[in-house]
Chains A and B, each alone.
Chain A
Amino acid sequence: MTLVLDSVTLTYPDGDRRLTALDDVSLHVPAGTVTAVVGPSGSGKSSLLAVAATLITPDTGTITIGGTSTTGLNRAVLARLRRRHVGIVFQQANLLPALTAAEQLRVVARLDGRRGGADLQAEAGLAEVGLAELAHRRPHQLSGGQRQRVNIARALVNRPAVLLVDEPTSALDRASGAAIIDLLTARTREHGVATVLVTHDRAHLDGVDQVVELVDGQIAVRVSRAE
Chain B
Amino acid sequence: MFVGWRELWFARGRFGLLVGVVALITVLVGLLSGLTGGLAGRNTSAVLGLGGDHVVFAGEDAQFGGSGLDESTAREWAAVAGVRRVEPLAVSMGKVEAGGRSAGVAVFASPGSEVVLSRGAAAELGVRDGATVTVGDLTAVARVSTEDDYFSHAPVVRVPLPPGSRFSVLILSTSDSDVAAADQRLGTKTETVSDALERIGSFAAENGSLRLMRGFLFAISALVVGAFFTVWTIQRSNDIAVLKALGASTPYLLRDALGQAAVLLALGTTTGTALAAVVGAALPSTVPFVLDLPTLAFPAAVLVGLGLVGAALAIHRITTVDPLTALGSAR
Contact = CB atoms under 8 A, between A and B. Distances in A.
A is bound by B = yes
Given A76-B249, A79-B248, A110-B2, A94 B330 contact: no
B330 A82 contact: no
A103 B4 CA distance: 12
A190 to B, nearest CB: 22
A98 interface: yes
B248 A111 contact: yes
A112 B9 CA distance: 23
A88 B330 contact: no
Contacts of B327: 46, 49-50, 53, 55, 88, 90-91, 166
A89 to B, nearest CB: 11
A164 B250 CA distance: 22
B266 interface: no
A98 B11 contact: yes
A96 B239 contact: yes
Interface residues of B, number: 27
Interface of B: 2-3, 6-7, 9-11, 238-239, 242-250, 252, 323-324, 326-331
A31 interface: no
Contacts of A90: 242, 245, 326-328
Interface of A: 12, 21, 46-47, 49-50, 53, 55-56, 75-76, 79-84, 86, 88, 90-92, 94, 96-99, 103, 106-108, 110-112, 138, 154, 166
Contacts of B11: 98
Given A99-B6, A110-B2, A111-B252, A79 B329 contact: no
Contacts of A154: 246
A49, A81, A83, A98 — most chain B CB neighbours (10 Å): A98
Given A94-B238, A98-B6, A98-B10, A108 B246 contact: yes
Given A98-B11, A99-B6, A107-B2, 18 more contacts: A46-B328, A49-B327, A50-B324, A50-B327, A53-B327, A76-B249, A83-B248, A88-B246, A88-B327, A90-B245, A103-B2, A107-B3, A108-B247, A111-B247, A111-B252, A112-B247, A166-B327, A166-B328
A71 B43 CA distance: 71
